[in-house]
Amino acid sequence: MKRSVPVSLLALGIDPGSPVARYRQLYEGIRDAILTGRLRPGARLPSTRALAAETRSARNTVIAAFEQLVAEGYLEGRVGAGTRVALTLPESLLHARPVTDPRRAAGPRPALAERGRRLLETWGHRRPTGGPVRPFRTGYPALDAFPTEVWARLMTRRWARVSRQLLAYGDPAGYQPLREAIAAYLREARAVRCDAGQVVVLTSSQQGIEVATRVLLEPGDPVWVEDPGYPGAHDGLAGAGLRLVPVPVDAEGIDIAAVAPEAPAGRLVYVTPSHQYPLGVTMSLRRRLALLDWADRTGAWILEDDYDSEYRYAGPPLAALQGLDQAGRVLYLGTFSKVFSPGLRLAYCVAPPELVDAVVAARFQSDRHPPAVNQAVLADFIGEGHFARHIRRTRALYAERQAALVEAARRLLAGKLEVSPAAAGLHVLGWLPPGVDDRAASRAAAEHGVEAAPLAAFRIRAGGRGGLVLGYAGFTEREIADSVMCLARALEGRGAARSKK
Ligand SMILES: Cc1ncc(COP(=O)(O)O)c(C=O)c1O
């Protein structure tokens, strides 16, 4: 009978202190010996008893490693009755080295598709800001005001009596009671014309943008976007292979009459009418009617992103554009990212009735539906009146925080950054003196520990007056006051003084 190879040939460096399980170390050691040719096909392995003794392992541990290698086809035979390296290992496998670094791979590197390349391009310059959330990062609600206790209570209650229905695959259009709660809220608070059948629950407005493009547009189609506008939308639309046509925004909101006559007709227009992001203006009624009329005449779609309209400080919230739409051209998006927490990942869209099925199909293909229990808890939260209370409470809180920012800016930033109160939302826009480069000012702010996004980062067409976008809702008055002081120092410094070339 063929002799077994000496244990030393296997060169099994078992590390007793390693977090990797011992059976896994044995498995990898033997597999490596096979793949690097130290163990040839047909070679007989030492007995599990000998290997256990040599490596100071329990015999069952060695048996577990052998069984795994037999199951994967590296070894043959019955464990305990003579085990050898499989005779039929493909030659290519024997010469292959375990590849951990793609640069060491023998074959050609996988080429990205055009779509993949486009995605990487946007990812390169828009990687989300990491690190702790600090003033004045945009888009953050007050995470310290998250209704943790109520949420935890509702969550515990749901889990204590969780139904089979909530543990099974759910309706891709969303949990029905949540759809009803959202529809009722939108009809009452936002004058959106809808019933629950038109509401589709999403993980984010970002998903809503993706779903809309998949359902309504072909790659290469022109889409009109606000300029400056929301980078998440610009990137989402460009990433889907659409042609972005920048449309100027003025004090009345997006101005489609200013699109050059030779520009391609938009198949869809993305707008933030209640509170333009980032300029903060509200679209006038005149412009709303003109936009709806244009969409009706040309057969274009309107994607209305109503991301933070719960927060209006002067008077009641404004009615949504969707509520004025007679022709069914508006796809309406809303999110809970601004009202609660962006980490919750819950949002919704309201589709015209004839689009609902296609939207649900696209949504289903993305990820079927958001976690059902979270949807149920949110439905309870809205249904039991906590949602309305939370908005009232945070609206008052944000009004105070905004006032603290505007007041500190008036005292400390005069002549450096012109910050006026905003009627709505979670951020204000500060204008730099003409000629001051906002990217340089933003870099100077970062050096002083303050995040202040340059308006240039929201623009498609370069130029225009520089500004800094300051999110305030997520920060305490103390943090705001301290950060305004740091910003004042930053803007006194060299960075901000560098003018535009
Ligand atoms: C205009 C606008 N829409 C949508 C969002 C994000 O929403 P979601 O987290 O649901 O994608 C943001 C976040 O900053 C935003 O500014």
DSSP 8-state code for residue 474:
T
- 231 Cα to the center of ligand 1, angstroms: 9
Determine, yes or no, domain membership for 99: no
Looking at the structure, tell me whether residues 251 and 357 fall in a common domain: yes
What pLDDT score was predicted for residue 495?
46
Closest CA to 69 of 135, 12, 18: 12
H or E element in which residue 293 lies: helix 285-298
Same domain, 249 and 274: yes
Q: In testing the pocket of ligand 1, which one of 140, 308, 338 has its CB within 8 Å of the most ligand atoms?
A: 338
Domain of residue 438 covers: 392-496
Residue of 307, 336, 426, 427 to mutate, ligand 1, most atoms within 8 A of C-beta: 307
State which of 133, 304, 337 you would mutate to test the pocket of ligand 1, scoring each by most atoms of that ligand within 8 A of its C-beta. 337
> What pLDDT is stored for residue 70 in this prediction?
87
CA 210/CA 171 separation, integer angstroms: 19
Ligand 1 centroid–CA 205 distance in Å is 6
Per the CB < 8 A criterion, the answer to whether 106 and 115 are in contact is: no
Write out residues with Cβ below 6 Å of ligand 1. Answer: 139, 204-206, 230, 232, 272, 277, 305, 307, 335, 337, 342, 347
Strand partners, 249: 254
Distance 475 CA to ligand 1 centre (A): 18
Structure tokens at 439: 């990217």
CATH code assigned at 43:
1.10.10.10
Distance from the alpha carbon of residue 131 to the mean position of ligand 1, in angstroms: 19
* Contact call for residues 249 and 257 (beta carbons, < 8 A): no
- Could you tell which of 182, 277, 340, 458 is best to mutate to test the pocket of ligand 1, judged by most ligand atoms within 8 Å of the CB? 277
Give pLDDT, residue 500.
45
Residue with the smallest CA separation from ligand 1 atom 2 is 307
- Span from the CA of 277 to the centroid of ligand 1 (angstroms): 10
Contact residues for 306 (Cβ-Cβ < 8 A; gap 6+) = 190, 272, 273, 274, 320, 332, 333, 334
For residue 127, being part of any structural domain is answered with no
How many whole angstroms from 447 Cα to the centroid of ligand 1? 27
Instruction: Give the per-residue pLDDT at 33.
Output: 87
Same domain, 235 and 283: yes
**pLDDT tens per residue across span 73-130:** 899 887 667 899 988 876 666 665 555 565 566 666 678 998 888 888 888 777 777 7
Same domain, yes or no: 262 and 337: yes
Distance 247 CA to ligand 1 centre (A): 20
Ligand 1 atom closest to Cα of residue 230: 1
d(CA 226, CA 406): 26
- Number of the ligand 1 atom closest to the C-alpha atom of 207: 11
Domain-located, residue 414: yes
Does residue 28 belong to any structural domain of this protein?
A: yes
Are 237 and 370 in a shared domain? yes
Asked whether residue 280 falls in the same domain as residue 399, the answer is no
Distance 206 CA to ligand 1 centre (A): 7
CA-nearest residue for atom 13, ligand 1, is 139
The domain boundary, picked from 384, 408, 443, lies at 384
Listed as ranges, residues in the chain with pLDDT below 50 are: 495-497, 499-501
pTM: 0.86
Q: Does residue 180 lie within any of the structural domains?
A: yes
Which of these three, 93, 123, 150, is where a domain ends?
A: 93
366/407 same-domain check = no
